[in-house]
Amino acid sequence: MATIQTMRIHATDEVFVRATRADVHAYLADPGGYGAWWPGARSRGAPDGAWLELTTATPGRSQRLHLAVVGERRDLGVAFRLRGDAIGKAEWYYLDEPDGARVTWLIDATATTRWARRWLEAHRAAVRRGQRALKDVLESGRPVGADPDPALLERQDVAIAQFEAGVERYLKRRR
């Protein structure tokens, strides 16, 4: 009988998307809907979260994770408790950039499969596939190098101004 190898995993993968954090959050806050836009993913809602099944490059092998939302920061990210092929926690979080948002997946868990290192490699490949799909959906087929939507830039200018005002208030309090 083969022993199950467990391995602590901590990994991040990120993508830049020419969209606002609010637009990103609309897709990532509901893990039950991931299968609608994420290639190779099937998802179904459950009373305590959602099951996510990710196909891998190895035929007949998929990854099953239950994602239970444990925290949500409106337009900033969503945190999950994981169980299934990995036990631990994960989070999507989004950071403003001048003309879009940086979207990061963070996983901190223990892989509970026989081939933990291969599982992690396959998981990261599946996450990057999902991130590229999210980028494609949100950028609406915009050609590479094209200017972002002017409405996005206007909203980002407002967000940057609010951030700078907050920094200024903080610095005044410290003086």
Q: Mean pLDDT across the chain, nearest whole number?
A: 87
HEC assignment per residue over the chain: CCCCCCEEEEEEEEEEECCCHHHHHHHHCCHHHHHHCCCCEEEEEECCEEEEEEECCCCCCEEEEEEEEEEEECCCEEEEEEEECEEEEEEEEEEEECCEEEEEEEEEEEECCCCHHHHHHHHHHHHHHHHHHHHHHHHCCCCCCCCCCHHHHHHHHHHHHHHHHHHHHHHHHHC
pLDDT-derived band of residue 3, with 50, 70 and 90 as boundaries? low
Residue 33 has pLDDT above 80, yes or no: yes
**2, pLDDT greater than 60:** no
Q: pLDDT grade, residue 30 (50/70/90)? A: very high
Q: What is the pLDDT of residue 4?
A: 59
Q: In this structure, which topology does domain 7-174 adopt according to CATH?
A: Alpha-D-Glucose-1,6-Bisphosphate; Chain A, domain 4 (3.30.530)
Percentage of the residues of the chain whose pLDDT score is greater than 90: 52
Considering only residues 98 and 3, tell me which one the structure prediction assigns the higher pLDDT.
98
Which pLDDT band, with edges at 50, 70 and 90, does 175 fall under?
confident
Which of the pair, 35 or 171, is modelled with greater confidence?
35
Q: Where in the chain are the domains?
A: 7-174
Structure-model confidence comparison of residues 45 and 79, the more confident one: 79
Average the pLDDT over 61-68 and give the result.
Answer: 92
pLDDT tens across 102-153, in order? 999 999 999 887 778 888 999 999 999 999 999 999 998 777 777 777 777 6
| Residue 50: band (very low, low, confident or very high) from pLDDT cuts 50, 70, 90 | very high
3 token code pair: 């022993």
- pLDDT at position 71 is 93
